[in-house]
Amino acid sequence: MLQVTPATVAAWIDQGHLKGHKTPTGRRRVASSDLVEFLRAHGMQVPPDLSPAREKAVVVVVEDDPSYLRALVRTIGREMPDTDVVEATTGMDGLLEIGRTRPDLVVLDYRLPDFNAVQVVERLLDPSRRLTAEVMVVTGGMPMEAEAELRRVGVQKIVSKADGMSIVIEAMRQALQARKVA
C-alpha cells in the first residue's frame, strides 16, 4: 500500500515513528487511524481506502457537450449542495478522474469523443480498479442494441437527456441514496 517493504514498516514501528504493536506471533499491526496520522505528518498521500468517510458525495460527470456539462454541474450545485462534482470531457479523462477520486456515482454520457459508455464501463470493471461506484448513463440517443449492452456490463440506470434535467437529478439522488442504504 505504501510502496515500501514490510521491513521498512517494522523499522518505523520499532523506532517509534509509527504507532503499532507486535502480535504474539511477532507480526506488527498498525491501526488505520494511526497510519493515516503518520502519512499526513510525513507529507505522504493517504490512499483512498484509508480516507475517512466523506462528508459530501463525490460524482464524476463525463460529458463532452460543454453546454450540457455546464448546465448539469450548475443544477447539481443548486439541487444537491451536499455533492462535489468532478468534470471530465473524454472517456480517458473520466477513467483517470474515477481512479483518482473513487466517486460515489459516475454520470456518463453514452457518446464520447474517444469511447462510448460501454467501452468506459468495461474498463472500469477491470478487477484492479475495484470500482464501487454506481454508473448512470445519460444519453441524447444511442443505438437500440446499446441499452442491452449497457445492462450486460452492469449499468442499471439509463436516463435520456430529453426527459429533462429534473429527471437526471432525481435519478442521481436515487442512486446516491441507494448507495447510502447498501
C-alpha cell read off for 21:
504493536
In words, the CATH class of domain 57-181 is: alpha beta
User: What is the residue extent of each domain of the chain?
Assistant: 6-50, 57-181
Count CA within 13 A, CB hemisphere, residue 150: 23
Coarse DSSP helix, strand, coil percentages of the chain, rounded to the nearest 5 percent: 50, 20, 35
Does residue 67 register a pLDDT over 70? yes
- Provide mean pLDDT across the span 39-58: 76
* pLDDT reading at 52 higher than 70: no
End-to-end CA distance of the chain, in Å?
26
Instruction: Return the closest-CA partner of residue 117 out of 87, 151, 85, 83.
Output: 151
Q: Report the b/e string of 82-108 with b at 16+ CB within 10 A.
A: ebbbbbbbbbbbbbebbbebbbbbbbb
Q: Is residue 60 within 8 Å of 97, Cβ to Cβ? A: yes
117 versus 170: which is more confidently predicted?
170
Which of the pair, 16 or 76, is modelled with greater confidence? 76
Model-level pTM? Answer: 0.70
Tell me the pLDDT of the chain averaged across its residues: 86
